[in-house]
Structure 1
Amino acid sequence: MTHAEGFDEVHILWISEGMSCDGDTVSVTAAGQPSIEDVVGGLIPGLPKVHLYNKVLSPTLGGEEFLAPFRAAASGELEPFIFVLEGSVPNEKINGDGFWSSFGNHPDTGEPLTLNWWLDRLAPKAWAVVAAGTCAAYGGIHAMAGNPTGCMGLADYLGWDFRSAGGLPIVNVPGCPVQPENFMETLVWVLQHAAGEAPPPPLDDKLRPQWLFGKTVHEGCDRAAYYEQADFAKDYNSPKCQVKVGCWGPVVNCDVPKRGWMGGVGGCPNVGGICIACTMPGFPDKFMPFMDAPPGGNLSSTLIRPYGAFIRRMRGITNATANVEPKWHHNREVLTSGYDPRWRP
């Protein structure tokens, strides 16, 4: 159903049969601003009515009952729908005599239907296509060097110039797993656009939401001031900057230090974990081994050392003077604050 500006009702078809651990679905269940329950329950003003089909969150018993809306969408009998993929896309051209990943069986032959079969039929018909998590967005762990499946991200499979039936590029929301509110906030924007209440979500050249991934981990990190002062952690128990013990935060596009993980609490550097760059297209290959200092970390920390030491010393002096009360705070019989009570014409 549609009205003049957009849709009154939208289906969300979520397939997690990519090469995946289902961690993105599990993560999204922790979202609170908004929660998936609020969206499906119609509690967000301006959104169309939403029907969600996700195997982890489905009330069905599975099997054909669960597959019914996916089969209907593939045959053009269910629209409009937003297609969400979780997990990386294997290369079925190199599967030998078998298959890498399947989702249901063919009703006539009983043979497994590969993920790629579904992608070929659902993605072009979808009003919008969303990649949930780094595996779906860029291939992730399953696509690292040495993998036998030839895994790739959704844009690598469909093409980076792909446009959905609604005229949108693929919307990538990376993370391993995806940060709950990052995904739900993006999904709500797409739904608002579908309802005619908002413009398309702004994306960067890697198809990530700009407002979420436009800054680096370092720019939002509580530990960043220690870096400026060349005060680096030597182990993971320290509250100081972790760049010398393996953190890639200064070059990674992610908002987790500012946003937290659940209810604004947590997030890798916030709880003493290094950033391993899980939102980046080059993850994990370009950022391994994880516990080693990044190549640029040694150089930058060496260059900033004299500046940081000087700044730290100067701030220490200023801090000492700022921790002294003004001299006119006393209990004597004379006013020494400089206040002049004389009347002036």
Structure 2
Amino acid sequence: MSGDNGSAGTGEATGFDEIDILWISEGMSCDGDTVSLTAADRPALEDVLLGLVPGLPKVNLHNKVLSPTLGGEEFLAPFRAAVRGELEPFVLVIEGSVPNQNIIEGDGYWTSFGNDPETGEPLTLNWWIDRLAPKAWAVMTAGTCAAYGGIHAMAGNPTGCMGLADYLGWDFRSRAGLPVVNVPGCPIQPENFMETLGWMLQHAAGTAPAPPLDHMLRPQWLFGRTVHEGCDRAAYYEQGDFAMDYNSPKCQVKIGCWGPVVNCDVPKRGWMAGVGGCPNVGGICIGCTMPGFPDAFMPFMDEPTGGALSATLIKPYGALVRRLRGITNTAVNREPKWHHNGPDLTSGYDPTWRSRGTHAPRKTRATTRTKRRELT
């Protein structure tokens, strides 16, 4: 799938004045993505909901943690209306990984969202996804669990959990002609999600094209670079200077950091109001935005695969670079010799321009050159 996934013109027309967001966090999760979302301020969720962001349609959010309703059927009303085809357009957001109901023999379910009004039996997350996703103008995931399965989809788990694109199919397209839009993170970096949602809402309003996604359906502009490329410790790696404990400000590759191979913008963006982010505050990167998380990055505190080889290869080069830079640093930490309070001008100033008809005597120019040589 190319970077122009879900380009405009392949789905339902845009230009909506009002849109609903149906947010279901009954996937296998901890609701941490919703909690993280409340820390966003560029744009802030409340600014979007209050219509304070120019160019966006009116937004109605239905999220159980942030809902002003009393819960129960009052909260479920818009979800049931959407199933009946009476609520459109809407964006479906799934939080938490999707379990495999097909591996359950007999009765039972992994997770549910409301009950069937006729039978009183719980309605599974899968039931809702099956009915809402085909009707949704767009489908998004919030967090790594919903995007790729995350912790609940680890090897050996009994639920058969997976990401939403695995469940719907990677060729799924919404009413707008968009694939599933994944915003991974454990939890989501709040601005990353709100920025992506803002782009989606501008697309819904007809004022922007569809957001560009990478081959794992992540926003390219957010996940197109590695942690290492934005890390303020990266120069230590280049110089072969590695931390051996967690109190050091140096590169943490040898004590468990996977930053050189993980796609994430947190070191540059920070976490809240531009502050924080794992390596920025002394933490290692454990790859929580990646499709292979957590299995591919465990044990978390061990040196990453290939870390010993890359560190060994970079050391001779790094040692030479450190030495050469040290020499240059010493040289440029000195003031020029002509900075003094004496009576002579010793900066080497020797103007080549003379007013017409006047020429400095040859002896004077020679004397100036002699002085300049003596200074150098």
Give the TM-score, by structure 2 length.
0.90
* Deviation per residue, 1:65-120 (Å, 9 max, x gap): 00000000011000000000000000011233210000000001000000000000
The reply to whether residue 50 of structure 1 matches residue 50 of structure 2 is no
Superposition pairs of residues 241-256 of structure 1, within 5 angstroms: 241-256=251-266
Q: Paired residue for 2:334?
A: 324
The one-letter code of the counterpart of 1:187 is L
Q: Paired residue for 2:38?
A: 29
How far 1:156 sits from its partner (Å)? 0.3
What is the root-mean-square deviation of aligned Cα atoms in Å?
A: 1.0
Q: Is the 8 A contact 2:14 2:203 kept in 1?
A: no
Counterpart of 2:114 (choices 89, 104, 109) is 104
The one-letter code of the counterpart of 2:154 is M
Q: Paired residue for 1:70?
A: 79
Name the CA distance, whole Å, in 2 between partners of 1:188 and 1:321. Answer: 50
Q: Is the 8 A contact 2:181 2:217 kept in 1?
A: yes
Q: Is the 8 A contact 2:200 2:210 kept in 1?
A: yes
* Deviation per residue, 1:284-335 (Å, 9 max, x gap): 0011000001111110000000000000000011111111111111111111
The one-letter code of the counterpart of 2:65 is V
Name the CA distance, whole Å, in 2 between partners of 1:257 and 1:129. Answer: 28
Name the CA distance, whole Å, in 2 between partners of 1:135 and 1:195. Answer: 29
Q: Paired residue for 1:238?
A: 248
Moved more, 90-99 or 314-323: 90-99
Counterpart of 2:20 (choices 11, 14, 20) is 11
Superposition pairs of residues 1-345 of structure 1, within 5 angstroms: 6-96=15-105, 97-340=107-350, 344-345=354-355
Identity across matched positions, percent: 82
How far 1:283 sits from its partner (Å)? 0.4
Q: Paired residue for 2:358?
A: none
Name the CA distance, whole Å, in 1 between partners of 2:167 and 2:87. Answer: 24
Q: Is the 8 A contact 2:141 2:183 kept in 1?
A: yes
Higher radius of gyration, 1 or 2: 2
Q: Is the 8 A contact 2:56 2:201 kept in 1?
A: yes
Q: Is the 8 A contact 2:243 2:251 kept in 1?
A: yes
How far 1:342 sits from its partner (Å)? 7.5
SS at match of 2:186: coil
SS at match of 2:126: helix
The one-letter code of the counterpart of 2:189 is Q
SS at match of 1:295: coil
The one-letter code of the counterpart of 1:299 is L
Name the CA distance, whole Å, in 2 between partners of 1:172 and 1:65. Answer: 29
Name the CA distance, whole Å, in 2 between partners of 1:50 and 1:203. Answer: 23
Q: Paired residue for 2:3?
A: none
SS at match of 2:60: strand
How far 1:5 sits from its partner (Å)? 5.2
How far 1:140 sits from its partner (Å)? 0.1
Name the CA distance, whole Å, in 1 between partners of 2:228 and 2:283. Answer: 13
Name the CA distance, whole Å, in 1 between partners of 2:346 and 2:246. Answer: 51
Name the CA distance, whole Å, in 1 between partners of 2:300 and 2:351. Answer: 67
Name the CA distance, whole Å, in 1 between partners of 2:281 and 2:171. Answer: 38
How far 1:137 sits from its partner (Å)? 0.2
Gaps of at least 5 residues in structure 2 are 1-12, 356-376
SS at match of 1:30: coil
SS at match of 1:299: helix
Name the CA distance, whole Å, in 2 between partners of 1:342 and 1:221. Answer: 49
Name the CA distance, whole Å, in 2 between partners of 1:176 and 1:260. Answer: 14
Give the TM-score, by structure 1 length.
0.98
The one-letter code of the counterpart of 2:147 is A
